[in-house]
């Protein structure tokens, strides 16, 4: 499958990995994915379902921003579709939670012991 320049017009699972990293939007979306999953405690601690919801939330966020740009330019804007998407995003965010989750951080003695073992 070839890499794309922008998120797809319709949601497709794995769309973030299909973005061509030579384009700024790919870098931004990967940074947002990282920030989102970090806020939830790290991607490695999330279930498949949670990671799937993160992808959907990012796609909806992108789609909403595209629609808002169309409105600002005086182009076609479907307020009903925008509202439905905004409500969907709100629902996903509610499922994932809006609070940051702390990462597991080793104690200083554990960190030093691991560091010592590597040397």
Sign of CA dihedral 113, 115, 117, 119: negative
- Domain coordinates in residue numbering, the chain: 15-118
pLDDT digits (tens, 9 = 90+) for 49-81: 999 999 999 999 999 999 999 999 999 999 999
**Under 8 Å between Cβ of 57 and 97:** no
Token pair, residue 28, equals 């931004």
Q: What is the pLDDT of residue 98?
A: 77
CA–CA dist 112, 91 (Å, integer): 42
CB 67 within 8 A of CB 81: yes
Res. 5 pLDDT band, cuts 50 70 90 = confident
The structure tokens 């579709």 sit at 81
**Between 21 and 40, the higher pLDDT residue:** 40
Structure tokens at 59: 């796609």
CA distance 27 to 101: 24
């Amino acid at each position: 499958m070839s890499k794309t320049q922008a998120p797809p017009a319709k949601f497709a699972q794995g769309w973030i990995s299909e973005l061509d990293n030579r384009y700024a939007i790919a870098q931004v979306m990967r940074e947002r994915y990282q920030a989102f999953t970090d806020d939830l405690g790290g991607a490695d601690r999330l279930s498949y379902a949670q990671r799937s919801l993160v992808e959907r939330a990012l796609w909806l966020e992108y789609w909403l921003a595209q629609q808002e740009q169309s409105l600002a330019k005086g182009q076609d804007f479907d307020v009903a579709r925008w509202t439905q998407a905004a409500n969907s995003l709100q629902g996903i965010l509610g499922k994932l939670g809006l609070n940051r989750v702390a990462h597991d951080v080793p104690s200083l003695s554990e960190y030093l012991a691991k560091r010592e073992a590597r040397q």
